[in-house]
Amino acid sequence: MHAGRLFHGPTFLSALDLPPTDPRFPQPVILHAMCAIGSMYTADIAPTPVHTGQYFPGKRAIFARTTPLVDTDLLQDEVFTGRWLKFAARPDSFAEQHIKYAKIEMENNIDCGEYLVESMQAQVLITWWYLNQGRWSDVNSQAYFASGQGLRYGNALGLIKTGAFKILWPRKLAYKKENEVLPRPLSTIDEETRRNAFWLAYALERGLSSTNPHATEVDDTDIDQVLPLRSDQFDLGIHVALEDRQWSHDRNLLLKHPPECTDSFVLWLKTTMLLSRVKSFNVRFKGRYQAGDAAYYSPTSSPASGEAEYDPRDAPVFHDLNHAVLSFRRSFPPHLRDPIQDGTVDPHLYTACVGAHVAQILLHDPHMNAKDPACQSLNQVSKGARAVLDLMYSLSATSYDISLLDQLTFFAWILAGRVLIELLKIAIDHNNLEEVFARHSEICFVHSMLAKAGERMPVACTSPLSLVNLQLKLTYRADRYKKLIYGSLASICGEQFVEPLAETSYHRPRYVSPFHSAFVDPAPSIAPLVSAVTITYPAESPLRSF
């Protein structure tokens, strides 16, 4: 999806025709990373096994020996992937071997100060591979470290700033000038390739940071860089002066999209910037509020007020951010508002669209009150999930291979699924049968889309499991839900409609993806999860007999 921006296609392909001894031939650090990623898209190479279950053999013994005070029954997820490999007693897969080779080559290049740009490109590929393998669930995950390393790499190479915004560094400090780290670019293509590598590292890190509570690696205010060129300009090597381009610090960057500077890739990049601003607000609000920052409290509240007495939604900074979030997608140029045209999917634009609604959900979710139907945050979260669902329906009507989408898309889907499950719980609590049926159908659709993507992308393969687990939590005490669903469906549509789907169908939670290991635990069926819904029916309801 991002290969055409990380590398200049014609230049890279022509370099492959050169002998390996030629210095212009692609470096091993890049080729190893490419081999790892390419193995995901061919049937000739066995995929990297992925443990999709909740437990693995010997886990209790390990923790009983190393941490005897830990209740091992509560340890349901293992984030250290090396432990799966150890107990599966298997060698590294083809992809894992090449990732290790790429990391070794990258360390050697850094030690020698050679091929630094190529090493950064390889780091972006390594991060992308880790993300697609689903190794991103915790601070200890490989993707978390890899994404942070890629962004710090760009900072060390001086790619975080350009033009007149170079850092003012005291002369008395012994420090090499930035232009001594990297040689001057040989051409416009060389310069833009470096810039694209930095922005891709930024986008991957920001996309991942949206899924966890940890602080971002580099503050947005420290970045003073122009946005990438349009795809056609980059391919042709067209030089565009800095003063004619958009900067990362432009005041209305998220709402102004000049046609001469904008394409779907740029909009996708701006989406990650929007997510970054939402993340910064959520992480920093309490600290900035207590520090007395005027932008973080309204005239009716102050730092002297107790935390229970203020609503973050009253803060001026929240109003500004909420306006940007709600106006972002509407501000797209007319020709870039629909990511699916005539059955053709623009993956960058599709991700930009779903990412805009992810920002909407993440901004309002901490303030949502599910018990208050008039809650504005509940309304915004619901609208965001509905918008993501609509985009999923549109995508499912095409023949596009959804495993080619960006990982942010899969996060948007699981996030929408979690919102729908909460809406299902609200419908159950209010005895709203129509809403119960509608929400359950939508949840099953989200699950099926994630499972379909999981046929190739392990990150999507593991997402349905968390969706099912959350549904179990929210519907645990609902003791009549299964009977209600199946009884009503049989009564209205006939018995044939309640026959279970085949075990090999990816629409069933029991479907096991081709990405499996020696210790794969199939996901639980959705039927037991909804077998205990307590709903009180009116006396005249025909469903009371079930």
Task: Report the range out of 72-86, 228-242, 510-524 with the highest average pLDDT.
Answer: 228-242
Average pLDDT across the chain, whole number: 76
Cβ distance 280 to 293 under 8 Å? no
Buried/exposed 420-450: b ≥16 CB within 10 Å, e otherwise: bbbbbbbbbeeeebeebbebbebbbbbbbbb
Calculate the alpha carbon distances from 486 to 293, 387, 442 in Å.
55, 29, 16
Percent of the chain with pLDDT over 70: 69
Of 74 and 355, the one with more pLDDT: 355
Cβ distance 71 to 59 under 8 Å? no
Calculate the alpha carbon distances from 290 to 150, 303, 312, 540 in Å.
33, 5, 12, 56
Task: Please give, one letter per residue, the 3-state secondary structure of 88-153.
Answer: HCCCCCHHHHHHHHHHHHHHHHHHHCCCHHHHHHHHHHHHHHHHHCCCCCCCCCHHHHHHHHHHHH
Decide if pLDDT at 303 tops 70: no
SS3 content of the chain, % helix, strand, coil (to 5): 60, 0, 40
Task: Report the range out of 294-298, 390-394, 461-465, 467-471 with the highest average pLDDT.
Answer: 390-394
| SS3 call for 2 | coil
Please give the model's pTM, rounded to 2 decimal places. 0.80
The average pLDDT across 287-296 equals 80
Cβ distance 88 to 518 under 8 Å? yes
**51 pLDDT band (50/70/90 cuts)?**
low
- The DSSP output letter for 56 is -
The per-residue pLDDT for range 110-137, each reduced to its tens digit, is 999 899 999 999 999 999 888 887 665 4
Residue 165 has a pLDDT of 59
Kindly state the tokens that stand for 504: 């090999």
What gap in Å lies between CA 434 and CA 429, rounded to an integer?
13
Residue 512 has a pLDDT of 41
CB-based contacts of 147: which residues, under 8 Å, 6+ apart?
127, 131, 201, 204, 205, 208, 209, 217
| SS3 call for 536 | coil
Cβ distance 271 to 348 under 8 Å? no
The per-residue pLDDT for range 60-117, each reduced to its tens digit, is 444 444 444 333 333 344 556 666 666 666 777 898 899 999 999 999 999 998 999 9
